[in-house]
């Protein structure tokens, strides 16, 4: 018996040594122009430089953009009047101002005895990130998302095909309506929103100017905020590289982009938003993770059924981290909206329930569980540098109304 054990150990050592000595497959090398074309050929285009170019991407007949409508949407985005308790605005959870004055909602949540939070927000209150940096989204009256879902950014969201973690919402305008009315978010009914704004003389004038209608209705509230969201797009070093500036990205970032393309990341993280364009299964490879369902804080219904028969029960669990909230994606089938990677270095913590704090770990887990690769430290460093090149500030477009000929 010992003989077979020794043989087995020797075999494992041999396989390990051979795997080290065998040459690795050389990845394609790109010139700057080749790298640029490789990205552009996969629809990874740059963010528009001008308002006129932006209109080609986001303007629709159903909600055509105008300066008055965008300015009205901006006012509503920052106004707490659209939350039931009047304690939060859209901008409270979707931070876009570098000079955020109202930090109470964050600081109260961080110091609450009811919440043991260690979120990144405490160091990043002023980031132009479009998120709150909490593990779990916090809404009206401090109510947390019941599925422990992480806040998705509003920046570049109008360029994505899906707006929610399960992909159930397709447009920013639709998402505005859902967010205002959801109990765990703004918690305000459509009728109450209309009533509050109709009692404000300033808003009456602004709605009349934007929509040529003296009556304020919920649909136009959605349209106004949706119009403003369509202007919240960011440009970065990556965009400048795609536009032809070879010096815009560092050599390390370029190697990271090459890795991104070669390893297959671009299969899901594609389009102008580098993600947000499809619904994909996560994780594809789960490596038979096991959790103790009796000690799991948010075990799902199946786990509870198992634990009824065995107090020491353990069950198969697909995620490479604790699945707080028990959310399993679209139809419970582990189908999630592919996150946008623009500004991803500003939107930690990561994954649907904010389980992972650091971008390097997120990259490693994606390599292992989506690509089936154990990325080296060097490869992770390069990819992270590319992700840093996706950091950008909101474009300050010169918004003018088109003159009809």
Specify the pTM: 0.83
Cα–Cα distance for residue pair 151/139, rounded to 1 Å = 10
Cα–Cα distance for residue pair 231/235, rounded to 1 Å = 12
Cα–Cα distance for residue pair 225/73, rounded to 1 Å = 4
Q: At what angle do helices 67-77 and 201-211 cross, to 10 degrees?
A: 140
User: Which domain covers residue 115, as residue numbers?
Assistant: 51-232
Contacts of 397 (CB under 8 A, 6+ apart): 50, 51, 54, 231
**Pair 184, 246 in one domain:** no
**Pair 110, 43 in one domain:** no
- Retrieve residue 290's tokens: 């096991």
Proportion of the chain above pLDDT 90, given as a percent: 72
**Pair 183, 281 in one domain:** no
pLDDT at 286: 72
Q: Is 303 a domain residue?
A: no
* Tokens 């965008």 belong to residue: 70
Residues 333-366: tens digit of each pLDDT: 999 999 999 999 999 999 999 999 999 999 999 9
Residue 248 sits in a domain of what CATH number? 1.10.760.10
Of 1-10, 11-20, 46-55, 261-270, the poorest mean pLDDT is in 11-20
- Retrieve residue 218's tokens: 């919920």
Q: Is 26 a domain residue?
A: no
Residues 206-251: tens digit of each pLDDT: 999 999 987 899 999 999 999 999 999 999 999 999 999 999 999 9
Dump the DSSP string for 31-74.
-HHHHHHHHHTTT-PPPPSSHHHHHHHH--STT---HHHHHHHH
Of 23-37, 124-138, 286-300, the poorest mean pLDDT is in 286-300
Q: Is 90 a domain residue?
A: yes
Q: Is 348 a domain residue?
A: yes
Residues 290-317: tens digit of each pLDDT: 444 333 334 344 433 433 434 344 455 6
The answer to whether the beta carbons of residues 133 and 119 sit under 8 Å apart is: yes
Indicate the average pLDDT of the chain.
Answer: 85
Mean pLDDT within 62-77: 97
Q: Is 71 a domain residue?
A: yes
pLDDT at 303: 39
Instruction: Flag whether pLDDT at 13 surpasses 90.
Output: no
What total of structural domains would you count in the chain? 2
Cα–Cα distance for residue pair 292/153, rounded to 1 Å = 33
Q: Is 17 a domain residue?
A: no
Please give the sequence-ordered ranges of beta strands (E in DSSP) within 248-372, or none if there are none: 279-281, 290-292, 314-316, 335-337
Residue 258 three-state SS:
helix
**Pair 258, 172 in one domain:** no
């Amino acid at each position: 018996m010992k003989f077979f054990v020794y043989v087995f150990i020797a075999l494992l050592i041999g396989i390990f040594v051979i795997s080290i000595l065998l040459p690795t497959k050389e990845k394609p090398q790109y010139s700057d122009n080749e790298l640029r074309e490789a990205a552009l050929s996969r629809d990874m285009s740059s963010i528009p430089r001008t308002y006129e170019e932006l209109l080609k991407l986001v303007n629709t007949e159903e909600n055509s953009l105008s300066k008055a409508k965008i300015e009205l949407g901006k006012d509503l985005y920052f106004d707490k009047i659209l939350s039931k308790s009047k304690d939060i605005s859209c901008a409270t959870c979707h931070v876009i101002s570098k000079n955020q004055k109202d930090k109470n909602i964050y600081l109260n949540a961080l110091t609450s005895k009811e919440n043991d939070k260690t979120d990144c927000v405490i160091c990043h209150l002023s980031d132009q990130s479009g998120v709150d940096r909490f593990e779990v989204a916090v809404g009206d009256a401090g109510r947390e998302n019941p599925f422990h879902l992480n806040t998705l950014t509003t920046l570049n969201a109008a360029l994505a095909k899906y707006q929610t973690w399960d992909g159930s919402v397709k447009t920013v305008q639709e998402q505005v309506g859902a967010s205002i009315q959801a109990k765990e978010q703004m918690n305000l009914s459509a009728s109450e929103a209309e009533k509050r704004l109709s009692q404000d003389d300033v808003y009456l004038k602004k709605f009349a100017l934007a929509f040529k209608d003296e009556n304020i209705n919920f649909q136009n509230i959605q349209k106004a905020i949706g119009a403003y969201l369509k202007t919240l797009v960011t440009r970065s070093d990556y965009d400048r590289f795609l536009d032809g500036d070879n010096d815009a990205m560092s050599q390390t970032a370029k190697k990271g982009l090459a890795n991104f393309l070669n390893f297959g990341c671009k299969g899901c993280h594609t389009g102008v938003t580098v993600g947000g364009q499809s619904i994909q299964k996560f994780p594809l490879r789960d490596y038979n993770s096991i959790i103790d369902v009796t000690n799991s804080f948010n075990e799902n219904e199946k786990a509870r059924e198992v634990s009824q028969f065995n107090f020491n029960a353990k069950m198969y669990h697909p995620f490479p981290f604790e699945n707080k909230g028990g959310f399993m994606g679209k139809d419970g089938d582990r189908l999630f909206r592919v996150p946008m990677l623009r500004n991803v270095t500003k939107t930690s913590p990561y994954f649907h329930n904010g389980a992972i704090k650091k971008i390097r770990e997120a990259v490693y887990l994606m390599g292992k569980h989506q690509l089936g690769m154990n990325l080296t430290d060097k490869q992770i460093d390069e990819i992270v540098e590319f992700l840093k090149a996706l950091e950008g500030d909101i474009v300050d477009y010169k918004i003018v109304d088109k003159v009809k000929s």
